[in-house]
């Protein structure tokens, strides 16, 4: 059973965002709330999150943020570390199932009501999609929960060890294409497992990854990835990734696809 979170309605979310763009992080620290008159819960599907749970979640996020330099500007690497820690924290603590986590207005509530100061610290003067929940792949908090959800391994030991395999831009490609590869967490995890061993031949990670995802999507029409055992799936993903890297590397060198496939 999922924990249900408040859903901040669109007009209220947009109004808060426009107002908060004019405020400093220090001013936003005094604007956080545990509830909002324009936030509603789903009628069914789980139990409602309590105010105490929201308060503890805010406290935990603030603790991680302060280690990363909040409310100061901080360094880029500190923010990368912040994202990885928050991804794990949200996934472990929020009690969400994927269906509820796909509801975009819950992320608007977290960004604009519960955590406005940290949201606008992480992305100063952010475009709307970073806080409104119009695009979860871009959302300051939603993208991190989904990153942890897709990459968390089943066993308890080092469950989140794959979180740092891909950078943000690369993982965005996976998340944006998750439906085209069957929404398979098993496949996404295997891709993360083998990715560090792939020789990309000097080709940009993003370019190779996009090509790999396209190939896996086509294969998904004829192969049930979920039915493969670990070794079979590993070989399948390794072969696809190696083929993509070799082809793109050859093209970059001017050899052309025919030579690369010979």
Backbone dihedral angles phi then psi of residue 238, each to the nearest 5 degrees: -60, -45
Q: Beta 39-40 vs 7-8: how paired, if at all? A: antiparallel
Average pLDDT, the chain: 92
Task: Using pLDDT thresholds of 50, 70 and 90, give the confidence band for residue 15.
Answer: very high
Please check whether residue 104 is in contact with residue 27, taking contact to mean a CB–CB distance below 8 angstroms. no
pLDDT at position 262 is 37
**pLDDT for residue 61 is more than 60:** yes
Question: What Cα–Cα distance (Å) separates residue 238 from each residue in 196, 228, 231, 241?
Answer: 11, 14, 10, 5
- With tokens 């943020």, the residue in question is 65
Task: Using pLDDT thresholds of 50, 70 and 90, give the confidence band for residue 157.
Answer: confident
Mean pLDDT along residues 249-261: 64
Cα gap 115→113, rounded to integer Å: 6
Please tell me the number of Cα atoms within 13 Å of 121 on its side-chain side. 26
pLDDT at position 173 is 86
Least confident of 18-22, 117-121, 201-205: 201-205
Cα gap 142→128, rounded to integer Å: 14
46 pairs with which residues across the strands?
2
**pLDDT for residue 182 is more than 70:** no
Helices (H) and strands (E) in the chain, counts: 13, 4
Mean pLDDT along residues 93-117: 97
pLDDT in tens, 19-54: 999 999 999 999 999 999 999 999 999 999 999 999
Percentage of the residues of the chain whose pLDDT score is greater than 90:
76
Percentage of the residues of the chain whose pLDDT score is greater than 70:
96
Task: Using pLDDT thresholds of 50, 70 and 90, give the confidence band for residue 74.
Answer: confident
Contacts of 238 (CB under 8 A, 6+ apart): 194, 197, 198
CA angle (238, 193, 162) in 5-degree steps: 155
pLDDT at position 168 is 84
pLDDT at position 25 is 96
Count of other CB atoms within 10 angstroms of residue 87: 24
Q: What is the pTM of this model?
A: 0.90
Residue extents of the structural domains in the chain: 2-151, 168-261
pLDDT in tens, 218-241: 998 888 888 999 999 999 999 999
Task: Using pLDDT thresholds of 50, 70 and 90, give the confidence band for residue 84.
Answer: very high
């Amino acid at each position: 059973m999922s924990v249900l979170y408040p859903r901040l309605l669109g007009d209220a979310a947009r109004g808060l965002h426009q107002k908060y763009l004019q405020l400093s992080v220090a001013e936003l620290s005094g604007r956080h709330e545990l509830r909002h008159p324009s936030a509603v819960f789903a009628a069914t599907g789980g139990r409602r999150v309590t105010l105490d749970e929201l308060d503890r979640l805010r406290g935990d996020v603030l603790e991680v943020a302060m280690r990363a330099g909040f409310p100061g500007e901080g360094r880029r690497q500190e923010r990368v570390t912040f994202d990885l820690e928050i991804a794990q924290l949200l996934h472990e603590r929020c009690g969400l199932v994927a269906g509820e986590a796909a509801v975009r207005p819950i992320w608007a509530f977290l960004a604009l009501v519960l955590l406005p100061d940290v949201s606008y610290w992480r992305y100063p003067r952010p475009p709307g999609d970073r806080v409104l929940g119009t695009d979860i792949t871009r959302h300051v908090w939603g993208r991190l929960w989904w990153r942890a959800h897709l990459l968390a391994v089943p066993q308890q030991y080092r469950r989140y060890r794959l979180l740092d395999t891909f950078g943000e831009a690369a993982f965005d490609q996976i998340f944006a294409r998750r439906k085209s590869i069957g929404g398979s967490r098993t496949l996404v995890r295997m891709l993360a497992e083998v990715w560090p061993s792939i020789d990309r031949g000097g080709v940009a990670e993003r370019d190779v990854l996009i090509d790999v995802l396209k190939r896996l999507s086509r294969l998904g029409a004829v192969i049930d990835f979920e039915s493969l055992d670990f070794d079979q799936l590993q070989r399948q993903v390794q072969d696809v990734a190696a083929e993509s890297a070799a082809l793109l590397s050859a093209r970059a060198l001017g050899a052309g696809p025919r030579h690369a496939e010979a």
